[in-house]
Amino acid sequence: MAKRRLTLTIPLPPYSHPRNKWRQAVHRAALQEKGRRHIAYTSDDRLEVHVVLNLTPAAALIHDVDNRLKDVLDALQGRAGGPKNIHALQPIIPNDRQIFRVTVEKSPRKDAKRPRGRIVVRKLQRRRPKRNRSA
């Protein structure tokens, strides 16, 4: 049997206020990429998420990575405001409890032509133990 594809790379749309509007834009981008790559996550999948925020120097001073990460994870679950038990949007990931590792970074960008960043969702990769090289 062929392996299921689980790696999804999503280009981030420009941030827009209010944050629920941006969550909807992130969700649309994720849904489009998910359909294009024919990827489906099940509730048994263990995942990791990597978020890169390419920001201008001024925007990098304003945006907190924890707030943008929360927006991204909520968008991937289909949440963009309203009661937590109601998913107004189709979930990309059934539940963020499936996410076992997250990395977030702010990266400066100098021009408007560079992408706004990306989200990479993939199967949880096992970490190899570091070997002690002092011996």
Q: How many domains, the chain? A: 1
Note whether 48 and 101 are within 8 A (CB): yes
Note whether 7 and 125 are within 8 A (CB): no
Q: Domain for residue 3, yes or no?
A: no
Structural domain containing residue 20: 14-123
Q: Domain for residue 107, yes or no?
A: yes
Note whether 79 and 87 are within 8 A (CB): yes
Q: Domain for residue 135, yes or no?
A: no
The token pair at 101 is 């590792």
**pLDDT by residue, tens only, the chain of 135 residues:** 667 788 999 999 988 888 899 999 999 999 999 999 999 999 999 999 999 998 888 888 888 999 999 999 999 999 887 666 666 789 999 998 999 999 999 987 766 666 789 999 999 988 777 677 665
Output the pTM of the full model. Answer: 0.85
Q: Which residues of 48-86 are buried (b: 16+ CB within 10 A; e: fewer)?
A: bbebbbbbeeebeeeeeeeebbebbbbbbbbbbeeeeee
Q: Domain for residue 92, yes or no?
A: yes
Q: Domain for residue 86, yes or no?
A: yes
Gap between the Cα atoms of 56 and 4, Å rounded: 37
Q: Domain for residue 129, yes or no?
A: no
